[in-house]
A and B are shown apart, each in its own frame.
Chain A
Amino acid sequence: MVTKTARPIWKHPRFVPGIMYGLLVLIALLLVFFADWDKIQSNFLKPEIFRDMFPEVLTIAAKNTLIYTAVAFAAGFVLALVLALMKLSPIGPYRWFATSYIELFRGLPALVTIILVAFGLPIAFGWRIPFGTAGKAAVGLGLVAAAYMAETIRAGIQAVPRGQMEAARSLGMSAPTAMAYIVLPQAFRIIIPPLTNELVLLIKDTSLLFVVGTTPASKELTKFGRDFMTTTINATPLTVIALVYLMITLPMTSLVRQLEKRAAKGR
């Protein structure tokens, strides 16, 4: 015989979702009725300022952001590859150097490294990094990005089965040849998704270059938006640069998702 115990209302399967939807409606209503929509619109969505920012926000600021990202990524990647190989080296001092490097630059705020590269080096040695802000991006952000990417590349190399290196060596290939033609191509395939992720982080980190790229031609998005905010005494420029950032980063993150899906299927 089936006995049925009375179920208290809060154990009903629709009770918790019900409460959650209720809360959502309540917050939406509060926003609609109590937020100051006029202020929001005049301070964040002012059409004249929108218009004034174009086309420079794209032709100068966004372009600079992309250039700085590209040079920092390229420099960081090359250095990261060297560091990853050092970290896997049978020679102790190489490993120790790579480990110390990675710990150092992951432990420091990126901004500190950029200031060090842009202002510390000239003060100390009277030597300036060439190629203006792009040069500083390549060195300052590149040094930081390399520390993160080195770990990713090392993990990728180690994810390639050991038998691959052994098969290559038993065919007579030298260790560097086997690494270059057999192991690294497979490692890169594995790390394309996480590496693209690092690229997205790097796009956002170029905002730290606001301390160095200060001339009208060298401003990146964040500096450009902030200066516009100061001259207009309005927050609309923030909305604009936020939208431009998203225009760049959202396609990239969706690309990462596609790549991860493909990688999961291919293996």
Chain B
Amino acid sequence: MGTPAIEIRDLHKYFGDLEVLRGIDFEVDTGEVVCIIGPSGSGKSTLLRCVNRLEEATSGHVLIEGEDITDPASDVDALRAKIGMVFQQFNLFPHLDVRKNLTISQRKVLGRSQDEAAEVAARMLERVGLTDKIDEYPARLSGGQQQRVAIARALCMNPDMMMFDEVTSALDPELVGEVLQVMRDLADEGMTMLVVTHEMGFARNVADRVVFMDEGIIMEDGPPGEILANPKEERTREFLRMVLEEGF
């Protein structure tokens, strides 16, 4: 393997006195799909947000394709454009229609022409199956549709990798499937993906690796069959029992 897509070295993050991340080391290789699971408050989302520096790590390093994004001298904006991010709350721009949601950052960041950006937008919208919604405003879309548009918006930047932060947690149960299907398609096409999720089915079927986090550290890291079926750690077993009982 060459340079990993994401490399995290001894990452620590404090919120005030609270140490949310207590020394994280791990890598995501190009083309790999890694799912992070764990109880709420374990630091999964914070870890994701440190990777594209939405949160500043207190110490440690995050390397994106070998470039240190935590280095103050690095071009954060350029590195972020390589990492597509999808949020739990969709965060579509409500004052812009779907077309403009998909084109504005292509124009302002990549400097693409209006025509080129619109052409890319149409292609990505087709990928998530929402071609007919191009003129709608986000408020007129269902949660599942909004999240698919958000994925398309990230894809418009031709990112080298995608991060998903509990993207189905805010959805009505019947809308979860359509979003997971889009993510599965992406994985099949070889996209590098780092996914924080509570969807154990998705982790089992799609992930190359599953990472279990608890209390700010990585407790276990391995193939889904191993982590989900035969966890070594008692904490992992406890968590999985809880999740399965609650019927997530």
Partners in one complex: yes
Chain A interface residues toward B at CB < 8 A: 161, 163-164, 166-174, 177, 181-182, 185-186, 189
Contacts of A163 in B (CB 8 A): 87, 89, 91
CB proximity of B129 to chain A, nearest CB, Å = 21
CB proximity of B45 to chain A, nearest CB, Å = 12
Contacts of A185 in B (CB 8 A): 95
18 A-B residue contacts at CB 8 Å?
A161-B91, A166-B91, A168-B93, A168-B105, A169-B80, A170-B80, A170-B84, A171-B154, A171-B157, A172-B78, A172-B80, A172-B81, A172-B105, A172-B157, A173-B77, A181-B104, A185-B95, A186-B93
Q: Is the CB of A186 within 8 A of B94?
A: yes
Contacts of A169 in B (CB 8 A): 54, 77, 80
Chain B: interface size category:
20 to 34
Q: B109 contacts the other chain (Cβ, under 8 Å)?
A: yes
Contacts of A182 in B (CB 8 A): 93, 104
CA distance A164 to B92 in the complex (A): 7
Closest residue to B83 on the A side, CB-wise?
Answer: A170
CA distance A166 to B108 in the complex (A): 16
Chain B interface residues toward A at CB < 8 A: 52, 54, 77-78, 80-81, 83-85, 87, 89, 91-95, 104-105, 108-110, 150, 153-154, 157
CA distance A167 to B92 in the complex (A): 8
CA distance A20 to B84 in the complex (A): 67
Q: Is the CB of A171 within 8 A of B153?
A: yes
A167-B93, A171-B157 given; 17 more Cβ-contact pairs under 8 Å: A161-B89, A163-B89, A163-B91, A166-B87, A166-B91, A167-B150, A168-B93, A170-B80, A170-B154, A171-B81, A172-B80, A172-B157, A173-B109, A174-B77, A177-B109, A186-B93, A189-B95
**Given contacts A163-B87, A163-B89, A166-B54, is CB(A171)–CB(B95) below 8 Å?**
no
Q: Is the CB of A164 within 8 A of B93?
A: yes
CB proximity of A215 to chain B, nearest CB, Å = 46
Q: Which of A170, A173, A186 contacts B54 (CB 8 A)?
A: A170
CA distance A134 to B78 in the complex (A): 47
Q: Which of A161, A164, A181, A186 contacts B108 (CB 8 A)?
A: A181
CA distance A264 to B78 in the complex (A): 39
Task: Sort A-B residue pairs by CB-CB distance and give the 4 closest, nearest first.
Answer: A172-B81, A167-B91, A171-B105, A170-B85
CA distance A166 to B94 in the complex (A): 14
